[in-house]
């Protein structure tokens, strides 16, 4: 079996050269952060990922979490690993120091989180959901709730969840029927059933803080009648100590295709009509508040695509370096060589390596926009708003494809569980579904982020203009000319598709949405290609200045591969967006 090794060289390269780490550290509130500190943090995180999380990942898959009589027992090693995770301060990294956080930039947290997701995605889901709950409480709850709940959650002693989905209400939140009624003392009594609640019950935390969407009596129908409630597993006394068990229970956990180490719970609230909850913010504004949590989660789920692709690639590369089989085409030496020398195995591995690096660069670049937006940069806010569905949708689709590609390197034994390749494929599959399917992300991109923007297409046009200027500059270097040509063609395809969407959205919205997923993939490929081209330009500059670092040589080759093998798909996706609706919608329903 392979051992996970964090790709620290690429991580630091992207943070410094593309995300602009020095500038981020200079932003207001980040003054105590430095490049040296970040490098130390990444080194320690790599040790934790390799030494603590990776070794229990396999057991998490084979043993999984078990639920009996409402009590969940996590897989062997998870409880100890989580305790150490909290003791070493990893949970607190990005949060407000006022409540015990470390206040580190989002870009730094993004790189660290990638390691957790690569080494043990099932484990990483717990701090991810807790982090989203923290963000929602911090932005929208009363000072009293913040003081009472945030310190323990930021410490990690208490975990958090997000409760949206119900048996009758999946992506359609307007169908939610869970209820909450005033208890007369400022609290509420919550009742209903929620499904697919990640880490909804576990034996790692002292308390679990559920954020639950529910309807108040006489609330208006639809999305406008949903409120958000904080519902603790154990009630919390005024002095911060834990009180009695609340009227909620884990009815069962799901038997899933993958992420077996993550307990996905069916939660039942108020069976005895005594489930106490506390209103977050104002009545009937719960969906908007929950989107604070969901947007946090969407970027982090996109990062799961990066993490799982990286881990699957490392596992495949390990096998390709070990396995000897077949004659090498064009090799007349007669030597027995590993399958790494086979041309198609090289292609498979280059697919994994180049696309994973493109996704990583996009994720870290997006995180840097979050940091700049927090500092008041309106353009950065517009950029991250535009890119959030792309980070989530494109990266997770890539993660599924690349975990499959990595499995192909193993051949037949990849289909056998003992080799471990299948786990990454299975674990990756959920990422395109939860926190909004790829279609939901794509609909958000073409609707709210493009056609229905205050000035339709403004954010996209600003991005296209920046990418075009960079493509011209990169093309001035003869060694990068082919990369620049492919990038320019990709940008042209993106611009054509975006213009078509804006022109046709009002008159033919169904036609536009029939091509929304291809447009999302088109955007991901072009933006990823742009950032890889920028990476190639940086590498070329260092080499021209006399560097002999082989990392830069590899970056040039990887960026060149992405430009030659991925950017050409942009034209095909643009054609699908602008001319594919008729065939997509043309078959009458009875003929399916």
**Active-site residue set:** 435
DSSP letter at 453? S
For residues 35 and 171, what is the distance between their CA atoms, to the nearest angstrom? 41
Residue 4's alpha-carbon distances to 85, 301, 490, in angstroms, are 18, 20, 34
What DSSP element (H or E) covers 59?
helix 54-62
Name the β-bridge partners of 192: 269
- CB burial class (10 A; 0-12, 13-18, 19+) of residue 343? exposed
559/134 Cα distance (integer angstroms): 37
Q: Do 163 and 194 meet the contact criterion of CB atoms below 8 Å apart?
A: yes
Instruction: Give helix 286-322 / helix 421-428 axis angle, nearest 10°.
Output: 160
Integer Cα distance of 463 and 124 in angstroms: 32
Measured between alpha carbons, how far apart are the two ends of the chain, in Å? 45
Residue 438 and residue 443: Cα distance in Å, rounded? Answer: 9
Q: How many Cβ atoms sit within 10 Å of the Cβ of residue 92?
A: 22
CA torsion angle 131 136 141 144 (round to 10) = 0
Q: Determine the Cα angle at 17 with ends 525 and 428, to 5°.
A: 40
The full 3-state SS of 215-237, as one line of letters, equals ECCCCCCHHHHCEEEEEECEEEC
Contact 402, 356 (CB under 8 A): yes
- Spatial distance between the Cα atoms of 317 and 353, rounded to a whole number of angstroms: 10
CA distances to 348, 363, 385, 387 from 444, rounded to whole Å, are 32, 18, 10, 11
Q: Is the Cβ–Cβ distance between 194 and 178 less than 8 Å?
A: yes
Q: Which letter, b or e, does each residue of 518-543 get, where b requires 16 or more Cβ atoms within 10 Å of its Cβ?
A: bbbbbbbbbbbbbbbbbbbbbbbebb
Distance CA 213, CA 178 (A): 7
Quick one: which H or E segment has residue 266? strand 264-269
Nearest CA to 248 among 230, 227, 232? 232
469: how many CB neighbours lie within 10 A of its CB?
Answer: 10
Residue 74 dihedral angles phi and psi, to the nearest 5°: -75, 170
> What's the Rg (C-alpha) of the chain?
24
Q: How far apart are CA 526 and CA 23, in angstroms?
A: 25
């Amino acid at each position: 079996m392979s051992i996970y090794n964090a790709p620290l060289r690429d991580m630091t390269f992207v943070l410094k050269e593309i995300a602009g780490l020095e500038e981020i550290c200079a932003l207001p509130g980040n003054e105590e952060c430095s490049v040296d500190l970040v490098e130390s943090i990444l080194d320690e995180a790599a040790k934790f990922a390799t030494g603590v999380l990776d070794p229990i990942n396999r057991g998490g898959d084979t043993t999984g979490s078990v639920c009996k009589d409402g009590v969940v027992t996590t897989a062997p090693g998870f409880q100890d690993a989580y305790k150490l995770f909290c003791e070493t301060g990893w949970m607190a990294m990005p949060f407000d120091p006022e409540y015990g956080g470390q206040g580190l930039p989002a870009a730094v947290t993004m790189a660290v989180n990638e390691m957790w997701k690569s080494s043990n995605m099932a484990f990483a889901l717990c701090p991810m959901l807790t982090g989203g709950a923290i963000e929602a409480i911090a932005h929208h709850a009363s000072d009293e709730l913040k003081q009472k709940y945030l310190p323990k959650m930021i410490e990690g002693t208490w975990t958090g969840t997000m409760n949206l989905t119900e048996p009758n209400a999946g992506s359609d939140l307007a169908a939610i029927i869970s209820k909450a009624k005033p208890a007369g003392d400022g609290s509420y009594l919550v009742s209903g059933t929620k499904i697919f609640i990640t880490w909804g019950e576990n034996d790692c935390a002292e308390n679990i803080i559920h954020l639950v969407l529910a309807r108040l009596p006489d609330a208006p129908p639809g999305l406008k009648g949903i409120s958000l409630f904080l519902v603790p597993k154990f009630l919390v006394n005024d002095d911060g100590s834990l009180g009695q068990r609340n009227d909620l229970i884990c009815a069962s956990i799901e038997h899933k295709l993958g992420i077996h180490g993550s307990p996905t719970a069916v939660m039942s609230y108020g069976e005895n009509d005594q489930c106490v909850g506390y209103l977050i913010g104002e009545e009937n504004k719960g969906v908007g508040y929950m989107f604070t949590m969901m947007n946090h989660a969407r970027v982090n789920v996109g990062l799961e695509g990066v993490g799982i692709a990286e881990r699957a690639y490392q596992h495949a590369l390990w096998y390709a370096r070990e396995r000897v089989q077949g004659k090498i085409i064009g090799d007349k030496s007669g030597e027995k060589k590993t399958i790494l020398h086979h041309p198609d195995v090289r292609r498979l591995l280059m697919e994994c390596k180049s696309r994973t690096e493109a996704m990583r660069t996009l994720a870290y670049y997006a995180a840097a926009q979050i940091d700049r937006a927090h500092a008041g940069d309106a353009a950065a806010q517009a950029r991250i708003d535009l890119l959030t569905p792309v980070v989530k949708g494109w990266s997770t689709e890539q993660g599924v494809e690349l975990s499959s590609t990595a499995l192909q390197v193993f051949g037949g034994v990849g289909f056998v569980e003992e080799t471990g390749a299948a786990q990454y494929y299975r674990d990756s599959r959920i990422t395109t579904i939860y926190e909004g399917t790829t279609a939901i992300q794509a609909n958000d991109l073409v609707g709210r982020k493009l056609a229905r923007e205050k000035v339709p297409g403004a954010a996209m046009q600003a991005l296209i203009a920046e990418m075009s200027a960079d493509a011209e500059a990169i093309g001035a270097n003869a060694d990068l000319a082919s990369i620049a040509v492919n990038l320019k063609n990709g940008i042209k395809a993106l611009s054509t598709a975006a213009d078509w969407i804006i022109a046709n959205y009002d008159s033919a919205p169904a036609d536009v949405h029939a091509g929304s997923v291809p447009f999302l993939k088109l955007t991901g490929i072009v933006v990823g290609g742009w950032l890889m081209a920028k990476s190639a330009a940086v590498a070329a500059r260092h080499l021209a200045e006399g560097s002999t670092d082989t990392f830069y040589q590899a970056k040039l080759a990887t960026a060149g591969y992405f430009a030659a093998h991925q950017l050409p798909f942009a034209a095909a996706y643009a054609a699908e967006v602008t001319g594919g609706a008729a065939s997509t919608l043309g078959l009458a329903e009875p003929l399916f």
